[in-house]
Amino acid sequence: MIRYFLINLIALLALTGSALADVTEDVEYIELRWAEINYLLEGDEQLSAFEQLVAESETFIESNEESAELLIWSAIVKSSYAGAKGGLGALGLAKAAKAEFEAAMKIDAEALDSSAYTSLGILYHSVPGWPIGFGDSKKAEQLLRKGVDNNPTGIDNNFFYANFLADKKEYAKAEEYYLRAQAAPPRPGRDIADKGRQAEIAVALSAVQAAR
């Protein structure tokens, strides 16, 4: 009986380890492909690539529905595609991204350095308010602030909170968080994303310093 239990336990652990490896590979693939599309492509080529990555991300989730990491990245891809696409046609993508961020947070709100808080905050800040969309400045601030509190040295958490503050014309405070983002440690394997984000930070920081 004990031997039978151990054999089944080993088999279960092997399957779990395989599933975790698959999730990690899928997440790394989406991370890299997103960075390539977001920072190296433009125009129709970028839109087409985002559309394809949306489909790929959803396929990955079908095999790992309880992965907060995959849900977050699928939602990030949809959000980015919505931003690149623009217009009312992007609202459906934004709503789908919102649902995935919320689903990920129910599984593990702290996954990927609390990325879901920051990314959902971006959506609430970017999407039009009622009756067109679900945009809400107060919710945006709460979520963005939570993202920074949970990951105070993160490049994206600080950058997007700084963007929010800059849009509110709180330039001195925005500068503080842009500087935090600028000083963020490099992320292993995310060279393209870090380089692209640092370029965005430099432009935004210059703008708020000029506006003060």
Please, which pLDDT band fits residue 44 given cuts at 50, 70 and 90? very high
pLDDT, tens only, 152-203: 999 999 999 999 999 999 999 999 999 999 999 999 999 999 999 999 999 9
pTM for the complete prediction? 0.88
Up-side HSE of residue 104: CA atoms within 13 Å toward CB? 29
d(C-alpha 147, C-alpha 149), whole Å: 6
Per-residue pLDDT for 7 more than 50?
A: no
In the chain, domain spans? 2-108
The DSSP letter of residue 199 is H
Task: Report H helices in the chain.
Answer: 2-40, 43-63, 68-85, 91-108, 111-126, 137-150, 155-167, 171-182, 191-211
Per-residue pLDDT for 65 more than 70?
A: yes
CA distances from 101 to 108, 129, 183, 202 (A): 10, 18, 27, 28
Please provide the distance, in angstroms rounded to a whole number, between the alpha carbons at the two ends of the chain: 74
Q: Please report the pLDDT score of residue 4 as a whole number.
A: 44
Q: 177 — alpha (psi -120 to 50), left (phi > 0) or beta?
A: alpha
Tokens of 68: 């907060």
Nearest to 166 by CA among 100, 212, 202: 212
